[in-house]
Every structure is written in C-alpha cells, then in structure tokens.
Chains A and B, each alone.
Chain A
Amino acid sequence: SSELTQDPAVSVALGQTVRITCQGDSLRRYYASWYQQKPGQAPILAIYGENNRPSGIPDRFSGSSSGNTASLTITGAQAEDEADYYCNSRDTSGNHVVFGGGTKLTVL
C-alpha cells in the first residue's frame, strides 16, 4: 500500500495533550516525518526520524511509532499550535514518497 491515513480533524483544550496519528503499511519499515502548516504558509518540518526536532521546534512536540502507526504528540498545546499537520514517509516500494491527508488541529 502507498497510502497514509490521518484523522481529518482533532481538537484539544489549551494546555492539554493531543496525539495526532498516521497509519500506513510503509510505517512498518520507514519512519514518518511531520509537518505543521498554517494558513497561507509553507509547511514546516516538525519531527523526523525516530523522534528528532529541527532547530526552533518547541520541545512540546514529540514523535513516536508502533507497528503501522506513527504519532505526533503535543504536550501542553498552545494557541499557536492550531494548524494543519501532515505526515509523510516513503511508500512500501521505498522509491516514492507519500503524504497523509492532513489533520486540522483546533486548540479550544
């Protein structure tokens, strides 16, 4: 399979913890990467590999993986975390790249 599946929308109360998931067969072999995209802006890499944050990404963002599911966790969500989040990985062939459909995170 070359698909990654994400919940279309998730909400979290301000200051609480939220987990955004990404499912796909390729995740049994490859790590997911996660991107944050705010309206009118290019995506920003938030997490890659086992659990790596690029410089400038707050440590409240973390990643994990189990079986065919990768997760992005935001511990203590802030208002500025409201955005669309996308996962990506290689597909099962290893030659191509796939994105999940994206999750819209609302911070209440």
Chain B
Amino acid sequence: QVQLQESGPGLVKPSQTLSLTCTVSGGSINSGDYYWTWIRQPPGKGLEWIGYIYYSGSTYSTPSLRSRVTISVDTSKNQFSLTLTSVTAADTAVYYCARTPARVRGVIAFDYWGQGTLVTVSS
C-alpha cells in the first residue's frame, strides 16, 4: 500500500520561502509509471494544482505560480519536494502531495494522497 507523507514548517514569514517534502513509502518514486504531484487548498476553498514531477526530473507547474515554484525529486530518498518563493498570506493553505498514474491515456487522476499539511504565512 503506497503512502505519502508531507513534512515541513507550518509557519512561514511573508516574503520568505516555503519548503515541503513528500516521503513516499510502499512504492518506488523511481518509476516511469507515475507523476508526483503537489496540490494545495486554502482554508475553506477549493483544490489548486501546483505542479508535478516525473522521476526523470521533468516538471510541469501551473502558470500562475510557475515563476515562484520549484519541484524536485530525490530518488535515493524516495522523496520529492516543493519550494515556493516570496510567499504572501494568499499562499496560506493545506498542501497535499499525491501520486498520478502517468500512462492512462486521456486521464489525469490522483490516486494516493498524503494527509496534507497546513502552512500558514504570517509574521
């Protein structure tokens, strides 16, 4: 059974950098079968796709955040990470990591999710 677990600071000051890591267990991140994804949800609001990374290092991210987002992968630790620079209060959200099957034609689905971690941007 695949499990994902987010970790990182729960409080970040405005203008600083948010950094989160997702640890994958029960399966290898070094697989061509999946994308590894970050999604966030501001309190009381809907889901927002941030981006995903392939084991090879190829990344895709939402245009609205692209200039501030970096997603990286460490296959030796079975982890992938998110950094978001120059944060503001609008970046306060629950951040989820998730797995996405890569070879299902015409479909993008997140089949396993971490429990989520709340990151608050405040001084």
Contacts and interface: CB of A to CB of B under 8 A. Distances in A.
Q: Do A and B bind each other?
A: yes
A49 B104 contact: yes
B107 A102 contact: no
Contacts of A95: 60
A98 B106 contact: no
A21 B48 CA distance: 19
B119 to A, nearest CB: 15
Interface residues of A, number: 24
A54 B101 CA distance: 13
A50 B23 CA distance: 31
B11 interface: no
Contacts of B60: 95-96
Contacts, number: 62
Nearest to B113: A42
Tell me whether chain A's interface is mostly helix, strand or loop, or mixed: strand
B46 A49 contact: no
Given A96-B49, A99-B46, A102-B46, A30 B62 contact: no
Contacts of A98: 49
Given A48-B104, A96-B63, A102 B47 contact: yes
Contact of B48 (A35, A49, A99): A99
Interface string B82-103: 0000000000000010000000
Interface of B: 37, 46-49, 52, 60, 62-63, 96, 104, 106-111, 113-116
6 contacts: A42-B116, A43-B47, A44-B113, A90-B108, A96-B62, A96-B63
